[in-house]
Amino acid sequence: MQPILFYTKLKEESWREKALTFLLYTSWILGFAAALVVFIIQYVPIGATLVEGLAGLKFVMILPVLLTLAFVFFLITFLILGGIFTLVFFAMFSLVGIVLHYVYIFLSGKGEMNRMVQMMFYSSAAAQSILLILALMILTKYTGLTFPLFRVGFNVVYYLTLLYFYGLWAIAGRKTYGIPKWKAFLGAVVPIILLLIFGVLFDKIALSHLQPWIT
């Protein structure tokens, strides 16, 4: 809530220490939430078909098996999605840190790449906005929310998150490289432009493929 104060007080250390741990927390929290959404949207309806017509003693007898299967499938999904989030976030925020380092060096800044990557890993906190997108998936599946409205919600959350990242990365650049504010915001535009292009392409190409899965 106070990124300027946070980055001002943040002590420099290797990105392999607390910053990496923070990134892992973020990744696995989102992995758990995503696995829960997959369980609710996909596994629950499948499980309902398996117990259809069963009641009383028959249902009680099969219940331990169902609970075991549910736990196993949830755990497998959680491990897969947690691993995916970890790999994607590690690659993304490392790359953003490296790109911004050279951009700010080009803009006459003086700082260390280690410090920038450390700050990028902490900026992953803003990625928790993905939880809103996951919530929209459940609303689309079980309420009257239509897929076009989900699409609007997805894009609103995505672009507002990019806006917040833009501010975070500009602050990090200014604190790390000792450059004027206008240079900090100018440099942070570079990865944001790339993510904007990715967002547009994802919306046009991939987002529609989610419709059969969540509706």
Q: What is the mean pLDDT of the chain?
A: 90
Tokens coding 114: 């280690």
Say if residue 54's pLDDT is above 70. Answer: no
Q: Give pLDDT, residue 70.
A: 87
Q: Among positive and negative, which fits the CA dihedral 185, 20, 132, 150?
A: positive
Give the pLDDT mean for 110-137: 94
> What stretch of H or E contains 198?
helix 181-201
Q: Give pLDDT, residue 208.
A: 85
Residue type, 157: V
Find all residues with CB under 8 Å of 10, minimum gap 6, and list them: 118, 119, 122
Q: Among positive and negative, which fits the CA dihedral 188, 193, 198, 199?
A: positive
Residue type, 2: Q
Q: What share of the chain is helix, strand, coil (3-state, %, to 5)?
A: 85, 0, 15
Residue type, 87: L
Tokens coding 126: 């803003």
Which of 156 and 61 is assigned the larger pLDDT?
156
Confidence class for position 23, pLDDT limits 50, 70, 90: very high
Residue type, 150: F
Give the pLDDT mean for 119-137: 95
Kindly report, residue by residue over 70-79, the tens digit of the pLDDT. 899 999 999 9
Q: What are phi and psi of 165, to 5 degrees?
A: -60, -40
Which of 60 and 149 is assigned the larger pLDDT?
149
Its pTM surpasses 0.85 = yes
Q: Give pLDDT, residue 104.
A: 94
Confidence class for position 44, pLDDT limits 50, 70, 90: confident
Distance CA 130, CA 138 (A): 13
Say if residue 192's pLDDT is above 70. Answer: yes
